[in-house]
Structure 1
Amino acid sequence: MKRILSVALALAVLGGAARAVEFTRDQAGRIAKAVGTLLDQVHYKRVRLDDTIAEMHLTNYVNALDFNHMIFLQSDVDEFLAKYGKELDNLTNKGDAEPAYAIFERYLKRLDACLGRLPALLKAKHDFTQDEKFIAQRNKLPWPKNEAESAELWRQRIKFELLNGRLTDETPEKTADKVTKRYARLQKNMKQFDASDILQTYLSALGMAFDPHSGYMAPQDAKNFAIHNVDLKLNGIGALLGQDPDDDYTRIKGLTPGGPAELGKQLKPNDKIVAVAQGEAEPVDCVGMKLSEVVDMIRGKKGTEVRITVIPADAVSESERKVVRIIRDEIKLKEQYAYARIIDHVTADGKRQQLGVIELPQFYKKCAADVEKLIVRLQKEKVTGVILDLRRNGGGLLNEAVELTGLFIKKGPVVQVRQARQIEVLEDEDGRVTYDGPLMVLVGHHSASASEIVAAALQDYGRALIVGDLATHGKGTVQTLYPLASFMGTRQVADPGELKFTISKFYRIAGGTTQKHGVTPDIILPNVLDFLETGEAYLPNVLEADNIPPAKYQRADRVNGGLDQLRKNSSARITKDKDFAYIREDIELVKKQRADKTISLNEQQRVQEKKDIEARNEARRKERDARPVSADKVFLVKTETVDKNQPLIAVQPPKPAPTTAKGKDAAAKAKAATPASKPAKAPEDGEELEDTTDAGKAIIDVYLREALNILSDYTVQQAKGGRGEIVAVPRQ
């Protein structure tokens, strides 16, 4: 197969710990010039770095710093536009990145002023009987005109925070303390931004002026990207780290099973890290240090020693210390590996049926080989159908998507890639078919890029039934990571970082595109996300959708004309299903919230809203608790299960927490919590990850449950109707 471009071509060897790089202003300017030149010359869009791009660059940067439009004043933004709006392109071409630092300094000044109001606002008497409204999400609203308007916005914000505390029965003192610590953490984090952090934010804003997937990665972030999106391994101790807003300590949040820290049995969750030393070197105090810097010190070359000084979680006094010596080793991020489940499924007529579900979180190196070995094991266990679950898969390596698609087709084109002057057809050429049985691809709004390539190709071939949300994400572009050292050398900057930029668009073999529109499933299941502004089409500066001629391929229509019946059966089940009834109720609530995005600051109204939510949730809980236990049984198949030829692992979902007054109170507090305005970034070594326990993998959610029912119907159709006819589709 020809050399294939990848969505994330970051294959640098990670020989040691990534160290934060502090650029000088001169070095920052040189890097900015290199980034500007490359985007101007090689970005797929082929637009010049001109005044139009400069204005978008500035807007993106200001929004990146102040996403919710609560910190800057409108006069600041107007001043930036007048001074830099049509000059950032010229300054970038001259190697001048000073605007990045000047604007950031203004941000810090305004942040200090805003947070300086907190003590008085937290002590002030607020009238919670007024019919006052607050808009929490202000990213599409203007910045405050002046100090008076800013003060009013922050009064409303703090009133909103205090009301949330009252709704969860906190004392005013406790709420005030939590709010103070939360904003103190924000202030501290922003003041810890170094030159490379600021430059990364600034140049990523430039990249996003070309399209939303282009940006700059400082050396540390480029290495982390490769670790978490390509290699899925690093050299370290296997500990998940995190920081709480209540103090300046980095804590052990969890230990990776089989890692050096877990095997050593000396570190425990909630241990506080106070110092880190390399071998016999002097310890470096890390209290108050940025999490990323602590992580960097703990990572290192395989076989080397790191000494970590901690305050044990069960310490009686903060003065208690323990030094733990650990030899670093290679840590595989197995929570991102593909895995499979065999569902011993009970059909509507009471019969048992073995169905396979393969979960692939992302397209990492050699993931197609992992999926293949899982499929072989599923076939050995005599499954009658397979679901490839890509609902949470945001993409990855394009060549892996091509190889994975090839597991289900004999040979032929998988995706068409258009660069500036040519169209390349990427094909599966080996002629082998690993699995030829009934196949479904389960997708959602978070299925993006490489996931959409697989779903679109299998849909175009008629090889798989596609089921899921109204549409997938809609990312039909390909990016590469380009080391800037290859362009500007290393004499003036040892490691200038990497530029991620769009180099091509991909198209379906039928000639259409997934760009903006995504993949539309054959059978659509209702989802609240269908009514939220999520997906490529809602991002700024997206590349437009278009079409090219289809590739030459043979379509195998495995549905055999039975799609209408499958839809009819699914619709009938969904109409009667209580969980989907709850989803329809939630959709109506979301529609109302989108029509009126304000939040009441009237306590009586909010109390009633809270009671309504609690009553609705309690009614749903009681109805669910009264249901008979599902007869379906779940068996887990991991890649290591296959490698070691181990027996299947029977898993049970976690038991629900007992319903107590304390439990209800905790649930109420969770409901009152304010959601984050932006999604969290991908976790670094040590940061908290979502629950990936075996018990969690035993849960069959409402969408997977219906997908299993559809697959069951599909297998019956396949058994009755044969394989379907092969139809040649010529290239136009």
Structure 2
Amino acid sequence: MKHILKNKMMIVLISALIFTNCFANENSNRNSEESVGFLTNIRQLKELSDIMDVINQNYVGDKKIDRTVLMQGALKGMVDSLEDPHSNYFTKEQLENFQEDIKGKYVGVGMVVQKRVNEPLVVVSPIEDSPGYKAGMKPKDKIIAIDGKSTYNLTSEEAVEKLKGKENTKVKVTVVREGLKEPKEIEITRAVVELKYVKNKMLDEKSKIGYLRLTQFGENVYPDVVKGLEELQKKGMKALVFDLRSNPGGALDQAIKISSMFLKSGKVVSVKSKDGEEQISNREGKYYGDFPLVILINEGSASASEIVAGAIKDNKRGLLIGEKTFGKGSVQTLVNLPDGDGIKLTIAKYYTPSGVCIHGIGIEPDVKVEDKEDYMLFDGMVTNIDEKESKENKKEIIKEVIGEKKAEEFEKHKDIQLDTAVGILKGMLLERK
């Protein structure tokens, strides 16, 4: 049921990898190795060229032959042959979209949307202060056309692509809204939309238990995590729940910095490349105190989330509560190609401070609390949305996806993982008195 539900809803700009900024420097070894590499591969390159010629001279079909497309297909096939789900070939456009994921910024209208087959595009929630938000778009708005083109037969990716574009350009959406007799046309001026991945609140004013949630390790999310934690500490926070459930990961350096916030000393992670060379990362930066700490994890906690969870567990800094994590223990880098395309390639594996590679295994929680209904699913990956309107809209989406009866059960669902964390932290605080 979890996977079925996840496929029903598209949330723009989601990334699921450990990403390192050690971009390949194409020029550094070019003079010394390029001729050797070319001569070594010349037979295979000739075969590739011959196949392209055969296709160009003989293929008969509806699709027009494009040498660029043929080459892109060959490169994609080469990377796909690695049978590594985390290594990918990107066209120029795909690479740009991928980099937007990492940066948490893109040019568009700023809306979380849902698309089902043969139905219009539905607005789940506008992102606060985005062009769509300012233009008056509302949750549950049905976008039946984008610039006059019907959305019924578009895929979710195609619809999102049409909403994106260059900054300061305009897009017209035709909207069907409850309470309006006729479809309404709304013009939106595209702008840079910045996604936020951090939110915080005080869960229990009496016990002063704070809640900090990180939904993705964006390229520069560390300052937002610092800000969220410092806001809680100013309010008198005495214990913390750090929620990494359904966090698919992101930038490696951000995972190291965020782990370090909670560690007074010790190792955070080590990375081993193909030649066996090990790079150890110890804690760095400001330490934020020895308050009782619980990390919430589940099967959707992957990659950078697992680095943080592993560092906290192995250094005995806090407790992990929830379910076993995903088990992604590999590191990728981006290789930028001359024509603007790129390759995301697995170049190393990482190890927790105790020397364990969790790839394909995951990290077990200290306190196992299963949530078979997947309570976090409809909480989304973007936090800068109108939570009140979003909550009401989520009810309607859940009804559409799993039916009214199941939706009613879902509405009564309690977050047992969070409740368990709060109960344990209250006990820890009593012991400290």
Question: Matched residue of 2:250: which SS?
Answer: coil
1:305 is the counterpart of 2:169: yes
1:424 is the counterpart of 2:291: no
- Alignment correspondent of 1:207: 80
Asked whether the 8 Å contact 2:259–2:311 carries over to 1, the reply is yes
1:438 is the counterpart of 2:300: no
Given the alignment, which residue of 113, 116, 129 partners 1:258? 129
1:410 is the counterpart of 2:275: no
| Counterpart mapping for 1:335-346 below 5 A | 337-344=197-204
Cα 1:666–1:237 shift into 2, 3 Å: closer
1:501 is the counterpart of 2:322: no
Shift of 1:92: 9.8
Cα 1:517–1:261 shift into 2, 3 Å: closer
Letter in 2 for 1:214: S
1:667 is the counterpart of 2:404: yes
| Counterpart mapping for 1:238-637 below 5 A | 238-246=110-118, 254-265=125-136, 269-275=141-147, 288=153, 291-302=156-167, 304-308=168-172, 310=174, 312-313=176-177, 322=185, 324-334=186-196, 337-344=197-204, 352-421=206-275, 422-430=277-285, 432-469=286-323, 471-485=324-338, 490=339, 495=340, 497-526=341-370, 528=372
Distance 2:22 2:188 in 1: 27
Cα 1:267–1:356 shift into 2, 3 Å: closer
- Alignment correspondent of 1:225: 98
Distance 2:92 2:393 in 1: 44
Letter in 2 for 1:8: F
Distance 2:265 2:227 in 1: 19
Letter in 2 for 1:331: V
Shift of 1:263: 1.5
Deviations 1:174-201 (A, max 9, x none): xxxxxxxxxxxxxxxxxxxxx9699569
1:7 is the counterpart of 2:18: yes
Question: Matched residue of 2:208: which SS?
Answer: strand
Cα 1:714–1:367 shift into 2, 3 Å: same
Shift of 1:435: 3.1
Asked whether the 8 Å contact 1:370–1:639 carries over to 2, the reply is no
Distance 2:349 2:47 in 1: 27
Asked whether the 8 Å contact 2:266–2:315 carries over to 1, the reply is no
Cα 1:285–1:707 shift into 2, 3 Å: closer
Shift of 1:479: 0.7
- Percent identical pairs in the alignment equals 25
Cα 1:499–1:655 shift into 2, 3 Å: closer
Gaps of 5+ in 1: 1-5, 13-37, 42-47, 50-88, 109-194, 277-283, 346-351, 530-578, 580-637, 641-648, 672-695, 721-732
- Alignment correspondent of 1:234: 106
Cα 1:287–1:408 shift into 2, 3 Å: closer
Asked whether the 8 Å contact 1:200–1:216 carries over to 2, the reply is no
Gaps of 5+ in 2: 1-16, 24-33, 62-67, 376-382
Shift of 1:289: 5.2
Asked whether the 8 Å contact 1:299–1:328 carries over to 2, the reply is yes
Distance 1:652 1:343 in 2: 20
Given the alignment, which residue of 401, 418, 431 partners 1:704? 418
Deviations 1:246-267 (A, max 9, x none): 36x6565543332223322378
Cα 1:445–1:305 shift into 2, 3 Å: closer
Distance 1:653 1:308 in 2: 27
Distance 2:49 2:258 in 1: 44
Asked whether the 8 Å contact 1:275–1:287 carries over to 2, the reply is no
Shift of 1:527: 5.3
1 or 2, which has the higher strand percentage? 2
Deviations 1:61-112 (A, max 9, x none): xxxxxxxxxxxxxxxxxxxxxxxxxxxx9689625787xx9xxx9xx9xxxx
Asked whether the 8 Å contact 2:144–2:151 carries over to 1, the reply is no
Distance 2:235 2:70 in 1: 51
- Alignment correspondent of 2:4: none
Question: Matched residue of 2:237: which SS?
Answer: coil
Letter in 1 for 2:335: Y
Distance 2:110 2:370 in 1: 40
Give the TM-score normalised by the residue count of structure 2: 0.71
Letter in 2 for 1:211: D
Superposition CA RMSD, Å: 4.8
Q: How many residues align?
A: 379
Asked whether the 8 Å contact 2:117–2:152 carries over to 1, the reply is no
